[in-house]
Structures are given as structure tokens and as C-alpha cells.
Amino acid sequence: MWKSIKCAEREQQGHQRHHRSIRDITGASETSQEHQRHHRSIRDITGASETSQEHQRHHRSIRDITGASETSQEHQRHRHILRMKLLLLVVLVWTASDEASADAENVTDYEETDLIMKKAEPDLSSIQEKCRNLALHGRATMSSIYKDSNWGFFGMAINGIDGNEDTNYYHGSCFHTHTELSPWWRVDLLESYRISRITITNRGDCCGSRINGAEILVGDSLANNGNNNARCALVTSLPDGATQTYDCGEMVGRYVNIVLKGKQQCLHLCEVQIYGD
């Protein structure tokens, strides 16, 4: 019986050793598989890293190539600009040289042409003097000033040389005397001039016929308030608001008078212009 028990124990121990061997083999296999999976993961990671590095190198290569291409294009543009500037400089130098040569050849012609033109030019200063209204810088006075019940002393002598040809008396640009015998108006030009023409503008809102028969006098005398000077013109008829020019034929004088000699009348005009030199 003891033998049977020992045999059973030995058999039991054998089974145990067999099972341990099996577990060891199985564990080793699992460990080996785990190691294989671990190595594969490492290889995958390593491969991915190498692939990533390869991609990075590839992108750097592309950037380097692109940068080199852009640099090359920039150099080409720079060279093109330099060539264009050089060409422009050559053209400018050539043009300046050609113009200088032409100027040197034609300077005599220009001088001759300029001399001819100067001889042909009119004396503009004389023309401008004769076209200047001398009355604008004069001093005006008259025999009396009309006092309107509503407007007061509205028709002052200076209104006749203010440069305003408005013909409406009530707009304030006409002179007006009282009704009196031989009313007169005078402008002092401050020095003697050769008077070529005198232009007068009649009142337009009323009573323009009152100026008919007026005399325009030019001279240097203030005797009889200047009314003894020589006559330039006689105003025979001038419609309301009309403007008329009278030729004085280069009469010389400092004073210009307008007078209704021997008439009991009032005198009014809206502008007097005097031209001469």
C-alpha cells in the first residue's frame, strides 16, 4: 500500500512538473510574442520617424529649389531694370547731344528771327496807356448835389468815375446836381494827358433827355470852374441808358468838364470814362 501511495505521489509530482513545463513553455511563447509585438511597434515608430524625417528633408529640398527659383527670377528682374535704365540714359544723352548740336547750328537763325519779330512788334506799352481809363484815379466834383426827399444826398460826383456802369440812379452809381443854371461836373486827372476819347453812360431809369446839349470840355485851366476850356464834343442826343464815345483827337488837359451851358436844368450821368496817355 505504501508503494501505491509513493507511486501516486511520484506520478502526481510528475504531472506537476509536466504542467510547470507547459506553463513555462506557454509563458515563454507569450513573452516572445509580446517581445515581437514590442519590436514591431518600435520598428513602426522608427519607420514613421524616418518617414517624417524624409518628408522634412523633401520639403526642405522643395523650399530650397523654390527659393533658388525666386532668387533667380529676382536677379533677372534686377538685370532687366538695369538694362532699361542704361538704355534710357543712352537715349537721354543722345537727345541732349542732338539738341545741343541743333541749337549751335540754329542760334544765328534764332537771333535773326528775334530781331525781325522785335521790329514787327507794335508798341504795346503805348497801346496799353491809351486803353487805360484815366478817370478811375481822378478826383470828381460838381456844381451842386441833388438832395432827394427819400434818398438824401445820393448822387455824389464820385459816382461818375466808380467804374460801375449801372444806369439806375437809385442803385447808387450815378451823379446828380440840383436844377440850376449851367450845372456842371468835373474830374481832375491830377496831371495833363493827351486825351484820345471820352465815353459817357446816360441815366436809364428816368429823364435821359436832360443830357442833350451838354458840352464835354478838356483843358488845364480852372477859370470859371474849368468851363472855359476847349470843347471836345457836344452831346446832341443820347437815349436813356445809352453809352456813347466821343473822339477828342489827342487834346491835352488835366481837367474834363461836362456842362449844360445857359440851361436851367439838372445834370446827371452814370459813368464817365477817359482814355489817353
Q: In CATH, what number is assigned to the domain containing residue 201? A: 2.60.120.260
Q: Which of 179, 184, 186, 198 is nearest to 134 (CA)?
A: 198
Same domain, 25 and 90: yes
Do 74 and 196 share a domain, yes or no? no
Whether residue 165 is found in the same domain as residue 252? yes
Instruction: Decide which of 121, 152, 173 is a domain's last residue.
Output: 121
Tracing cell 504531472 back to the chain, one arrives at 15
Final residue belonging to a domain, choices 121, 153, 177: 121
**Can you give the pLDDT at residue 166?**
96
What pLDDT, on a 0 to 100 scale, did the predictor assign at position 111?
A: 59
Mean pLDDT calculated for residue range 29-38: 56
Q: How much is the pLDDT for 62?
A: 55
When divided into structural domains, the chain yields a total of 2
Reported as a pLDDT band with limits 50, 70 and 90, residue 28 is very low
Q: What is the mean pLDDT of residues 102-107?
A: 56
Q: 47 and 146 share a domain? A: no
190 lies in the same domain as 212: yes
The answer on 138 and 94 residing in a single domain is no
On whether both 140 and 191 belong to a single domain, the answer is: yes
Per-residue pLDDT reduced to its tens digit, 136-195: 999 999 999 998 778 778 899 999 999 999 999 999 999 999 999 999 999 999 999 999
Q: Are residues 194 and 235 in the same domain?
A: yes
Mean pLDDT for 21-38 is: 53
Asked if pLDDT for residue 59 goes beyond 70, the answer is: no
Split at pLDDT 50, 70, 90, the class of 202 is very high
Higher pLDDT, 25 or 160: 160
Q: Write phi, then psi, for 50 (nearest 5 degrees).
A: -65, -40
Q: Worst-scoring range by mean pLDDT, 50-64, 147-161, 206-220? A: 50-64
Structure confidence at residue 45 (pLDDT): 47
Range of the domain at 252: 130-276
- 124 — pLDDT class (breaks 50, 70, 90): very low
Whether 250 and 142 map to the same domain: the answer is yes
Q: Do 114 and 134 belong to one domain?
A: no
In the chain, the percentage of residues whose pLDDT exceeds 90 is: 49
The mean pLDDT of 89-105, rounded to a whole number, is 68
Are 41 and 71 contained in the same domain? yes
Last residue within a domain, chosen from 95, 121, 147: 121
